[in-house]
């Protein structure tokens, strides 16, 4: 199973423990409306995060951004921090808050090191069709041309 698949599976497992096993419904109440957070929403949100993370990392590397993996990691950590802002609002109990926070952390714990490692191994493989990069994230071909 790839990094993206694992990033979807982990929060779904958290949801399975919280909702069906422990019996804690994940709910957000906004006035008269109630939003039940189900397994499909959890999986889709995780998949969206995985695809967005992968796409950004691929774009940074494709366009030769210096130290692309380091830049991407900084952006990923910032997005993780921002993802907690909605959890500070009203309309959910402490259990829902804790489970959602755990899901956010679980997805990040899989995606950040997993996509970095995947990008590093793809960069090291000349047959992959992607530019090879130095340990500092520089494109080796570009660095070689600049030195000439």
pTM across the whole model: 0.79
**Cα 111 from Cα 115, distance rounded (Å):** 6
What pLDDT is stored for residue 127 in this prediction? 54
Q: Return per-residue pLDDT of the chain as tens, 148 residues.
A: 799 999 999 999 999 999 999 999 999 998 899 999 999 999 999 999 999 999 999 999 999 899 999 999 999 999 999 999 999 988 999 999 999 999 999 999 999 999 988 877 776 665 555 555 554 555 555 555 555 5
What pLDDT is stored for residue 118 in this prediction? 81
**Cα 97 from Cα 84, distance rounded (Å):** 9
Taking a C-beta distance cutoff of 8 angstroms, is the pair 8, 50 a contact? Answer: yes
Provide the token pair at 119: 């990008």
What pLDDT is stored for residue 114 in this prediction? 94
Cβ-based neighbours of 52, under 8 Å, separated by 6 or more:
none
What pLDDT is stored for residue 66 in this prediction? 93
Taking a C-beta distance cutoff of 8 angstroms, is the pair 106, 10 a contact? Answer: yes
Q: How many CB atoms lie within 10 A of CB 46?
A: 26
Query: Look-up: residue for tokens 């995606």?
Result: 111
What pLDDT is stored for residue 29 in this prediction? 94
């Amino acid at each position: 199973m790839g990094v993206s698949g694992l990033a979807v599976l982990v929060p779904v497992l958290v949801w399975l423990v919280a909702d069906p096993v422990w019996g804690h419904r994940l709910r957000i109440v906004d006035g008269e409306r109630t939003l039940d957070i189900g397994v499909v929403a959890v999986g889709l949100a995780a998949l969206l995060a995985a695809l967005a993370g992968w796409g950004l990392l691929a774009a940074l590397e494709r366009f030769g951004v210096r130290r692309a993996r380091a830049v991407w990691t900084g952006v990923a950590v910032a997005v993780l921090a921002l993802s907690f802002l909605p959890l500070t609002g009203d309309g959910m109990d402490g259990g829902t808050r804790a489970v959602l926070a755990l899901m956010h952390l679980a997805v990040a714990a899989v995606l950040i090191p997993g996509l970095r490692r995947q990008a590093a191994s793809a960069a090291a493989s000349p047959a992959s069709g992607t530019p090879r990069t130095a340990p500092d994230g520089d494109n080796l071909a570009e660095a070689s041309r600049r030195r000439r």
